[in-house]
A and B are shown apart, each in its own frame.
Chain A
Amino acid sequence: MIKVLFFAQIRDQLATSELQMPSDENSNVQMLLTNLKTRDEKWNKVLSNARLMVAVNQTICNDNIDLSSGDEVAFFPPVTGG
């Protein structure tokens, strides 16, 4: 399974902070995003945000990175600390 986390506005808009997705149907970030977007129109809209950031195993990356079971993927808006 792949652990998927959502933070800040993304978590609020989806009303979800964490879920698990099967690793065999989500072999890279792009596939995972596509599958999450098919959940419903709200998920499609929120995850289509052009400024969405992705981290795999706690490192920021782009969406063509490969995934395997046990990976942790996080989706969040641009960061605003400091």
Chain B
Amino acid sequence: MIKVQSEDFNQQVEYDRLRKDPSVGAVVTFSGLVRDINQGEQVSSLTLEHYPGMTESSLAEIVKQAESRWNIIDCTVIHRIGELQLLDQIVFVGIASLHRQDAFAACEFIMDYLKTQAPFWKKETNAQQESYWVDARESDQEALNKWTGK
């Protein structure tokens, strides 16, 4: 299941949704939050912009690639858009699998791809109420390279 939404999500509801099939032996979940300090700036809030249509299709493509590499029984990706405050949840990835190895790997793979391929952009507002676009990090590209063999 892939969802792009402005509303918050509930970890417990999403986790329970992933453990309905009795063949599931492992569920790995990741969630990303709005952090107070980013790239040296004190953050007070952020706004997430996206490319409607492409966002959903690129997430579906990322999940499809993960499913071709690992044994995944069920998968949930939720990404929020719009204005978010400190401590708010931004993204959720949950993987249900037979065993933990596939679930851990697929979860990390999906996040690494999402960070560099899915069309979302963060605009932060700092403590002085100045807004600026967040720069992409080299380390995110390097994280992707471990899956592509570059």
Contacts and interface: CB of A to CB of B under 8 A. Distances in A.
A80 interface: yes
B67 to A, nearest CB: 19
A65 to B, nearest CB: 15
B49 A82 contact: no
Contact of A81 (B48, B57, B135): B48
State the majority secondary structure of interface residues on B. mixed
A19 B34 CA distance: 33
Interface string A1-34: 0000101110010000000000000000000000
B114 interface: yes
Nearest to A11: B49
Interface string B107-119: 0000100111111
Contacts of A38: none
A9 to B, nearest CB: 5
B120 A80 contact: yes
Interface of B: 32, 48-51, 53-54, 57-58, 79, 90-91, 111, 114-123, 133-136
Given A8-B123, A82-B32, 13 more contacts: A8-B121, A9-B121, A12-B133, A55-B54, A59-B54, A76-B119, A77-B121, A78-B135, A78-B136, A79-B118, A79-B120, A81-B91, A81-B118
Interface of A: 5, 7-9, 12, 51, 55, 58-60, 74, 76-82
27 contacts: A5-B51, A7-B119, A8-B121, A8-B123, A51-B136, A55-B51, A58-B51, A58-B57, A60-B58, A74-B119, A76-B51, A77-B121, A77-B133, A78-B136, A79-B115, A80-B136, A81-B90, A81-B114, A81-B115, A81-B119, A81-B120, A82-B79, A82-B91, A82-B111, A82-B114, A82-B115, A82-B118
